[in-house]
Structure 1
């Protein structure tokens, strides 16, 4: 945990635990680390539902954690069948873990990724044509939603982790889907041919990730400085942008990418070519964001459809409902509505609370009649 803090006195940490060797080892290490500091720990076990026996296995993992002094919760994901199941399962698991960590009062979520996972990620992204940012791999620490994701084992080989478990007398759960050749990552893992992660190939890929990560840190600092000069982000989820101060170099492109993603609510950064074209034009729409003059805001026509305004609901990928009148709905205000001090483009994309008959009840960003929190998409800014 050195270098990942500060944590303060009596910290509360959540750990994602599948029952596999790496997450189980992380849970045990975290248990001891937290106990030495007078804190508390919560084990989170996601039931991915990819196999018929997964629910029973998840319950068994939670019971096993309880048996070694780690309180645990099972999080059913309820994934529907369909293409891209493994990728969707990973995304759903992370979302569920972050939500449970936040609900449990844990500002940190620890995950058990190790050196071989990092090497596999770099190889996978290289095959898909990722750029320098993607090739920097997984970060040891990154903000995400209501918690900070930490990966304390990222520099540790799986063989070393297995030796630790053996010394502890613990037998992990082995998920057969990790070796299923139907999945791309399982095929890649087999191709790397180094399950212990102690060979030169894994070491070289991990070193490459570290070099790219160093570059990413330098770029991130430059982007922060540029944004401080060129942009003013407002609590209503839009930014006032000075095109001259933004510039048109690589730092400007990275800064604009971060703004577009935060404002537009996209899960992924915009394509490099499209971003370069937007920067060259000095305006336009991209990734759900609209840039016009000095205003960069959510593109009103791309806002999500109205949904019931239930507490905890995330609307449009950016606004989380905290409280709203019973039976109300949240959706875009649309053109022609009240705008207060805001530009018309910004106001049109604001969340509005309406009753079942679509009568306007509140515009939380303007009148406080309901409470919503702006939750921009998390991710690296460069």
Structure 2
């Protein structure tokens, strides 16, 4: 299990380095925002298109092997980007194609992660492991932009890409050696049959579908908040420093939530999950109203604390409720909704605000977030959901050095 945690932590750091590295590399080479959009879209589009394929393969092939291939592919793509930048070859098409290769690798690797965790980690320890991975992922998202930016300013984006490649090589070799998660018998069926069977697993669990759609709504509204928030902070809340206070408050809340969840006696996991998602209404309302920056920061802290609770609980509940042989396909659907919703929110935030006004958009979004997530707790879903008896109680205190 230690090897799994190390591998996922290294992979999370490498993944978090890529957006800042690519952004600075493209802007340094072209200075063109449209070119940056092309490269980032080059990574996102194949990832979304190939996620269902990745889900099927995650259920057919040993997950450690899938992650080995996926992270080695990302290692090679980042090494190629590093070589081009260090050699002074600045072709936008090359960067776009290499970003697309990395996005395809994410599509194949992401659905394999839940299968590997479920196969390697015993049920009573699963929540704690998901929380430790969540802490590593959250901290990576905080420190990675500074690391990538610092290396780029000191030595150039090529060296930041080189570091990313080295980290992916390390995670590939670490996770590739983790044993567990035998291929399912579904591998004897056609790809189409496997895909249809995975969708049946989703459709046969109304609680799961309701939760996933609710999570897609908060991801979409997070895209709106992260687009409109900086503008509102600069214009109405005292400038760029105000936005940094808000963002850092959310980061602290997220890390504390992930850290706290294995230590809490959660009697109704699904209630905690959906209530955590519904908390995202708070920063939307705060940003829409004329309140001080401290109130917005506090609201964002609470919202991100709720999402910190949500992530490891959701990973744990889904792994317990979904058959292991279908877990990759089911989680691929879940990830598809999440990966697509936030970029869509980022893209349409400004046009929507221009039509409805910022205040009306944020307040209606807050109502939508609460309604879409709390509807999963209605009796029609609760009676088909995880057992009310399946409480998650704190495990014995972990050793101090160790820790979604």
TM-score, normalised via structure 2 length = 0.24
Q: Which has a greater percent of strand?
A: 1
Q: Which has a greater percent of helix?
A: 2
TM-score, normalised via structure 1 length = 0.25
Task: Return the index of the structure with the highest Cα Rg.
Answer: 1
Larger RCO, structure (CA 8 Å, separation 6 or more): 2
